[in-house]
Amino acid sequence: MRLNISGIQGREGASFRVRRHLPGDFLNTVPEVIQVLGPIAADLKVTNTGDAYLVAGSFSVDVQLRCSRCLEPLNTTLEASCEEEFLKTPHFGDEEDLLEEHYVAEGNELDTTNLIREALLISLPMKVVCSPDCPGLCPSCGEPLAAGECGCPSTDIDIRLAPLSKLLELSPQAATPERRKDHGITQEKTFQSKD
């Protein structure tokens, strides 16, 4: 979004507010995003601080994400905020400044596109999960464990112990009905805690 700042140029302390709906198409390139469900709602205040233009505000957008454990879709609202300065002129100061990336006003306009994109991308959770205790997929058959019993005997076994479970299967003790029952009970507890 490009903002025209001619109304506050040369007037230190002056500000204006912008509320706008913006396309959120860029989010479609994010692997966790299945689809963008609506426009980005942006609410910004731009202030002439004398040295710079301060852009402060918030954005939100409804998206459908994919759970990283069970791969099922989930709808959520991404929310982000910003408080960023746009320099009035490109700044070539000391070394410290060179390391930092600055936004710069372009004539009588501020281009907030990257600012909004970055804020929303940062707001994405590191790991998308449909619920904190989502049991994910059965490592044996790939069915979602939350859907119910997939029929695999030892889905609660740690993947790192899988080679060990193969050994256990070979031993006659592991094949006793009692052991199978134990597995069933453990699994049921997992499902109860979800509700």
- Residue numbers of the site for Zn ion (CB under 5 A)? 67, 69-70, 130, 134, 138, 140-141, 150, 152
Maximum alpha-carbon separation in the chain: 86
Residue placing its CB nearer to Zn ion in the complex, 54 or 152: 152
Euclidean distance between the first and the last CA atom of the chain, given in angstroms as a whole number: 43
CB of 153 to Zn ion, least distance (A): 9
CB of 32 to Zn ion, least distance (A): 12
The Cα-based distances of 195 to 146, 186, 191, 192 in angstroms read 11, 16, 7, 6
Q: Which residues pair with 18 in a beta bridge?
A: 44
CB of 24 to Zn ion, least distance (A): 23
CB of 21 to Zn ion, least distance (A): 30
Residue placing its CB nearer to Zn ion in the complex, 122 or 141: 141
CB 120 within 8 A of CB 80: yes
